[in-house]
Amino acid sequence: MANPYSIAETMLPQSNGMRGLDGMNRTSAPPGPNAYDQGGSSKPSVNSQPYNNERLAQQNMMVRQADALPQAQSANVQAFRKQNLVQANDEYKDVTFREARKAEVMDVLGSPATQYMAQMDDIESKAVRNSIATGKAMSVGANPDLIQNQMGIA
């Protein structure tokens, strides 16, 4: 079988290799005529349109998938944030309703101490619970930090 490559296509890479210049070999196109490559787009005797259409359709699909990924990630982040916001709003409504109900009950009871407790905001009620926990812990000889940590106050 005859060598399909020209003398220049075989001798130049060998010469470069012997001189330690392998990087000078041409890498942009394979050696030999276009009819010997594996692609359909460079065949002069074949209709290359179906091959090119298939190749471009695959490239289009890959680009669309790569473009869709950040959009899907963004949509997931936004859905997560919306879920957290809805949950936080529900919790806020529950706390507001509970505090309003507590204020009504304390008002009906009529005791000045309970009415004052109903009017306290979160920071004041936390301070009161902290003082009560500290006093109880000190009365039994325990470390107040341990009691507060156990109760979830601190």
109 shares a domain with 128: no
- 9: Cβ–Cβ under 8 A, 6 or more apart, which residues? 31, 32
Query: What is this structure's pTM?
Result: 0.38
89 shares a domain with 115: yes
* Residue 86 is assigned to a structural domain of this protein: yes
User: Domain total for the chain?
Assistant: 2
**Residue 24, pLDDT score:** 77
Tokens of 13: 């890479």
126 shares a domain with 115: no
151 shares a domain with 125: yes
* Residue 61 is assigned to a structural domain of this protein: no
How many residues make up the chain in this entry? 154
pLDDT in tens, 37-73: 666 666 677 787 888 888 899 999 999 999 999 999 9
| Domain interval for residue 108 | 82-119
125 shares a domain with 105: no
pLDDT in tens, 66-113: 999 999 999 999 999 999 999 999 999 998 898 888 878 777 777 777
At 153, the pLDDT band (50, 70, 90 cuts) reads low
Helix (H) or strand (E) holding 78: helix 49-109
